[in-house]
Amino acid sequence: MRTIAVYPGSFDPPTFGHLDIIDRSSRVFSRVIVSVALNIRKNVMFTPAERVALLGKLTRSYSNVEIDSFRGLLVNYARDKGAHVVVRGLRAISDFEYEFQMAHMNKKLAAEVDTVFMMTGERYSYISSNIVKEIAAFGGKIDDLVPALVRDQVLRKIRKGK
């Protein structure tokens, strides 16, 4: 059976943790649509177009992964794409409450869409986009947290902001 999965998120910026989930999802599902959420109430460093471009470059080697963006409800987007699976990464118990609420709410909105959780690889379980930006802003090294391409873009944004 061909299963289409959507992996939604802010990806501001994409981290090694996100790439780990993309890599593993690409082995489980026939097609993975990594989609940048446009209407999020967050302070973002990168424009949606920049995040889409970064993800595109980072996932170029996967033939069954594509990058997109969406506005509005995730379940409506998943329906439009013919996806019955939403992939989310779980790093720690602290992620659980929010993910639990979101998965149940999405199920209530669209019974045919299931959320599949993947435990983020142990070595990436402490990485978050917010921590990456904070460490970089204070001059810390982020080489182990994000690919070099992302590191350079984050540092460029920080230099521009100063």
Say how far apart CA 83 and CA 81 lie, in whole Å: 5
Which residue stretch of 6-14, 120-128, 141-149, 152-160 sits at the interface with ligand PNS (rule: CB under 6 A)? 6-14
Out of 30, 42, 104, 123, the active site residue is 42
Which helix (DSSP H) or strand (DSSP E) does residue 18 occupy? helix 16-28
Pairing of strands 31-37, 65-70: parallel
Cis peptide bond prior to 13, omega within 30° of 0? yes
- Residue 55 near ligand PNS by CB under 6 A: no
- Residue 120 near ligand PNS by CB under 6 A: no
Site string for ligand PNS, 71-110 (x = CB under 6 A): --xx---------------------------x--xx----
Distance of CA 18 to the CA centre of its chain: 5
Residues with active-site annotation: 18, 42, 91, 129
